[in-house]
């Protein structure tokens, strides 16, 4: 038995936010539609979502992040429905004390591996004949290609069985493998018999090749299957085993996996249609993935405005698409690419983060782009500290202590793409 948590709540339109006094997830969070089979992924956030859906059939979406649970009720909220959800969340933790659902601090966008502490009870394993039956039942896609950048960073293409699968530049989908699959490491997970036969899933932004095998811009007729930019994560800083990538990194081309049946996400290009707008794509680590597809689409369409790509990683080896972007920068007068690293020897005492690049004016000086909210669209994907999103008190933003790009740009007159406001600062989100 655990202790009830303290919950505060607020309502903005059809979304109610319930804020507890303890963390529920890590920084990326997780979202679920009522139609999802949320409980199957074994996450605490999924269990919370299932609870809300069961209590109130008018709730159609639940998002869990940090210490917040946000629930959407299209018909609006009344005091009775708020109280039911409030009390349910408090009671939930009395019976689920000790479970943890956390995400690593991401260096990418949608893609930080889910770290789960499972209920006690060591699983004995699944016989291979049963494992094969489970694969046939659950897997709906095939790994078409794997390009190892180095031993813990892959670029991977996955071909869904459904030929109608489509996505817009910037969106994400889900990859998954059964808990019954072997791990690449020797870390031990405590899995009960029921959990062992379920899927470990997580969301990944969809990336894209930009050049074909001849070094030319990839044409629509040469499109490759959805591409994913994947970092091997074995455990968090506390030693809690990650659940997906240690299994994924044992797979080979031709192996079967689960892939989400649809793509989702509001982080996409089609919110504006000005071919002369300047486009600034800022990312950290594997957060570059969705920006790659955006870059391809913009160049295919002959975008007239300036396109700027910036990516920060720890080391040069983490810039997997560096050579491609250098080719583009040489070939297209309106394309600029700025790679930044923070842990190479030359960075000692001279680290430049994306926040510094934007606030100091270096971005404008190095690319010729004027950060003008009337003519510039900015896309942010990656570490939440770089993005620096605020909490909202009604329509008033409350900025985090560490100043991120969102606040820097807002001070320059930009607006956040938030709620029903289609602004000029776009970022990955799950609503």
On whether the CB atoms of residues 223 and 127 are closer than 8 A, the answer is no
Report H helices in 166-321.
193-196, 245-248, 288-300
278 against 51, higher pLDDT: 278
Is the pLDDT score of 21 beyond 70? no
Q: What is the pLDDT of residues 328-386, one digit of tens each?
A: 999 999 999 999 999 899 888 788 999 999 999 999 999 999 999 999 999 999 988 89
pLDDT of residue 163 exceeding 50, the answer is yes
What pLDDT score was predicted for residue 288? 96
User: CATH 3.40.50.80 occupies which residues in the chain?
Assistant: 269-427
Please check whether residue 412 is in contact with residue 363, taking contact to mean a CB–CB distance below 8 angstroms.
no
DSSP string, 71-140: EE-TT---HHHHHHHHHHHHHHHHHSTT-EEEEPPPSSSTTPPEEEEPPS-------HHHHHHHHHHH--
Whose CA is closest to 312, among 385, 234, 410, 401?
A: 385
Cα–Cα distance, 209 to 53 (Å, whole number): 39
Tokens of 418: 């938030």
Supply the pLDDT for residue 116: 35
Please give the model's pTM, rounded to 2 decimal places.
0.73
Q: How far apart are CA 108 and CA 378, in angstroms?
A: 17
**pLDDT tens-digit series, residues 307-322:** 999 999 999 999 999 9
Contact 200, 178 (CB under 8 A): yes
Cβ atoms < 10 Å from Cβ of 413: 11
According to the model, what pLDDT value does residue 11 have? 82
CB 259 within 8 A of CB 286: no
Rg (CA), the chain: 22
Annotation: CATH topology of 269-427? Rossmann fold (3.40.50)
Is 79 a residue whose pLDDT tops 80? yes
How far is CA 178 from each of CA 53, 131, 167, 253, 254, rounded to the nearest angstrom? 25, 9, 25, 17, 17
CA proximity to 288, closest of 324, 252, 243, 234: 324
Question: What kind and span of H or E run contains 356?
Answer: helix 354-359
Q: Tens digit of pLDDT for each residue in 168-223?
A: 999 999 999 999 999 988 788 888 888 899 999 988 999 999 999 999 999 988 88
Q: Which of 84, 15, 20 has its CA nearest to residue 51?
A: 84
Residues of the chain with pLDDT > 70: what percent? 85
Helix (H) / strand (E) containing 307: strand 307-313
CATH number at 120-259: 2.40.30.10
Bridge partners, residue 217, by sequence: 211
Task: Round to whole Å and give the CA distance between 69 and 38.
Answer: 15
Name the burial class of residue 376, with classes exposed (0-12), middle (13-18) and buried (19+) by CB atoms within 10 angstroms of its CB: buried
Q: What is the pLDDT of residues 85-103, one digit of tens each?
A: 887 777 665 433 333 333 2
Residue 40, pLDDT score: 56
Residue 115's beta-bridge partner residues?
A: 102, 242
In sequence order, the 6+-apart residues with CB closer than 8 A to the CB of 33 are 60, 61
pLDDT at 419 over 80: no
61 vs 260, which has greater pLDDT?
260
Average pLDDT, the chain: 84
pLDDT of residue 184: 86
pLDDT given at position 120: 29
Q: What is the pLDDT of residues 397-409, one digit of tens each?
A: 999 988 999 999 9
> What share of the chain has pLDDT > 90, as a percent?
53
**Class in CATH terms, 7-103:** alpha beta
Question: What pLDDT is attached to residue 107?
Answer: 35
pLDDT beyond 60 at 67: yes
pLDDT mean over 258-266 = 91
Question: What's the pLDDT band for 231 if we cut at 50, 70, 90?
Answer: very high
Asked whether 205 and 287 are in contact (CB, 8 A), the reply is: yes
Predicted pLDDT of residue 25: 58
Residue tagged 């606040």 (tokens): 407
Judged by average pLDDT, the poorest of 76-80, 195-199, 236-240, 310-314 is 236-240
Cα 201 to Cα 42: distance, rounded to the nearest angstrom? 9
Locate CATH 3.30.1370.70 in the chain: 7-103
């Amino acid at each position: 038995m655990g202790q009830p948590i303290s919950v505060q709540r607020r309502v903005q339109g059809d979304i109610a936010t319930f804020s507890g006094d303890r963390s529920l997830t890590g920084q990326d969070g997780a979202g679920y539609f009522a139609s999802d089979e949320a409980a199957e992924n074994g996450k605490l956030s999924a269990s919370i979502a299932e609870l809300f859906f069961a209590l109130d059939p008018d709730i159609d979406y639940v998002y869990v992040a940090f210490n917040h649970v946000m629930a959407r009720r299209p018909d609006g909220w009344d005091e009775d429905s708020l109280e039911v959800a409030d009390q349910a969340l408090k009671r939930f933790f009395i019976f689920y004390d000790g479970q943890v659902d956390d995400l690593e601090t991401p260096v990418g966008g949608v893609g930080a591996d889910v770290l789960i502490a499972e209920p006690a009870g060591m699983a004995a394993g699944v016989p291979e004949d049963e494992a094969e039956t489970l694969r046939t039942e659950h897997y709906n896609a095939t790994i078409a290609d794997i390009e190892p950048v180095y031993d813990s960073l892959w670029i991977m293409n996955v071909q869904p069985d459904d030929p109608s699968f489509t996505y817009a530049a910037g969106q994400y989908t889900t990859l998954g493998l059964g808990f019954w699959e072997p791990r690449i490491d020797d870390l031990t997970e405590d899995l009960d018999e029921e959990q062992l036969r379920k899927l470990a899933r997580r969301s990944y932004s969809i990336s894209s090749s930009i050049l074909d095998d001849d070094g030319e811009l990839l044409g629509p007729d040469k499109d490759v299957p959805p591409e994913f930019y994947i970092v091997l994560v074995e455990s968090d800083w506390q030693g809690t085993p990650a659940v997906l990538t240690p299994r994924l990194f044992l797979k080979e081309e031709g192996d079967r996996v689960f892939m989400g049946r649809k793509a989702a996400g509001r982080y996409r290009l089609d919110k504006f249609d000005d071919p002369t707008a300047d486009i600034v794509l800022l990312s950290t680590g594997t957060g570059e993935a969705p920006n790659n597809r955006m870059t391809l689409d913009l160049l295919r369409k002959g975008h007239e405005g300036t396109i700027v790509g910036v990516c920060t990683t720890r080391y040069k080896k983490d810039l997997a698409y560096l050579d491609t972007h250098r080719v583009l920068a040489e070939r297209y007068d309106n394309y600029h690419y700025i790679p930044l690293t923070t842990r190479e020897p030359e960075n000692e005492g001279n680290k430049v983060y994306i926040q510094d690049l934007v606030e100091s004016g270096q971005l404008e000086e190095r690319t010729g782009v004027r950060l003008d909210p009337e003519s510039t669209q900015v896309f942010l994907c990656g570490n939440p500290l770089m993005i620096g999103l605020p909490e909202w008190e009604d329509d008033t933003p409350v900025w985090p202590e560490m100043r991120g790009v969102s606040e820097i740009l807002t001070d320059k007159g930009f607006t956040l793409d938030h709620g029903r406001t289609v602004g000029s600062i776009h970022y990955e989100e799950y609503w």
